[in-house]
Amino acid sequence: MKLNLKIWRQKDRKSEGKLVDYAIDNVNTHMSFLEMLDTLNEQLISKKEDPIEFDHDCREGICGQCGVVINGNAHGSLENTTTCQLHMREFKDGETILIEPFKAAGFPVKKDLKVDRSAFDRIISAGGYVSVNTGQAPEANTIPVSHETAEAAFDSAACIGCGACVATCKNGSAALFTSAKITQLALLPQSQQERKERALHMIMQMDEEGFGHCSNTEACEVECPQGISVLNIARMNYEYNRASFLKFKKK
């Protein structure tokens, strides 16, 4: 299969980027999208040209490292699929494919398709943790959690932090990611000690990182490879308002 690729090339975050055309004609339909980029890089290296930088790690759709905008869609047009799990059989012979990095104020481009997503790490560090006794593990049934609560927490915890929600949002909002991390802990009894501070600190950090505000277009849920629900954002707003009220009342 032969493809025409328009790929964003950028030397570093201070340089001006541009789209560069590439032609590749030995694409197997069973290749993943990242394997196709690997093949293109092999050709570029053989010509002593600079290979294309892109993020990847496990290539099993669970780590959240991979991520590019393909023909205007984060991770491509296939629903609930990461870039590494998108296969070339989804494209047609001779098709032109536009490949760009996740572009948002909170995700500065490091080089080519590789972006700096360390802002997510700082949001987690601001409050995405729990205080527990590190001694002997307690009996699992001493803190009862209903099946419904456990499932709801797990659904939120399924977020892999890939950043597709940010890349898709017209405002570059990280509300879906942040709300999923807040919700997964807010639902469980083991994490109530930091409940108030968690919501305040994580949302404050999210704003400091330069992410935009949520305007409820729900594009983030559509592009999320894990199908994280926007209802998490409603929960985050509740947790923030609750924490703000308790803080004011304490004063």
Asked if residue 125 lies in contact with residue 97, where contact means CB atoms within 8 angstroms, the answer is no
Written as one string, the DSSP assignment of 55-119 is: --SS-SSSS-----EETTEET-SSTT--GGG-BGGGS-TT-EEEEE---BTTB-EEETTEE--HH
Mean pLDDT in residue range 13-22:
96
Mean pLDDT in residue range 157-181:
97
Please work out, in degrees rounded to the nearest 5, the angle formed at the alpha carbon of residue 180 by the alpha carbons of 230 and 238.
Answer: 70
Domains of the chain, CATH where assigned = 3-111 (3.10.20.30), 117-129+145-249 (1.10.1060.10)
Phi then psi for residue 12, to 5 deg, are: -160, 180
Alpha-carbon distance 251 to 212, whole Å? 30
Mean pLDDT in residue range 13-28:
96
If you compute the radius of gyration of the chain from its CA atoms, what whole number of angstroms results?
21
**Nearest of 107, 105, 109, 131 to residue 121 by alpha carbon:** 107
Percent of the chain with pLDDT over 70: 98
pLDDT of 222 above 80: yes
Alpha-carbon distance 234 to 56, whole Å? 31
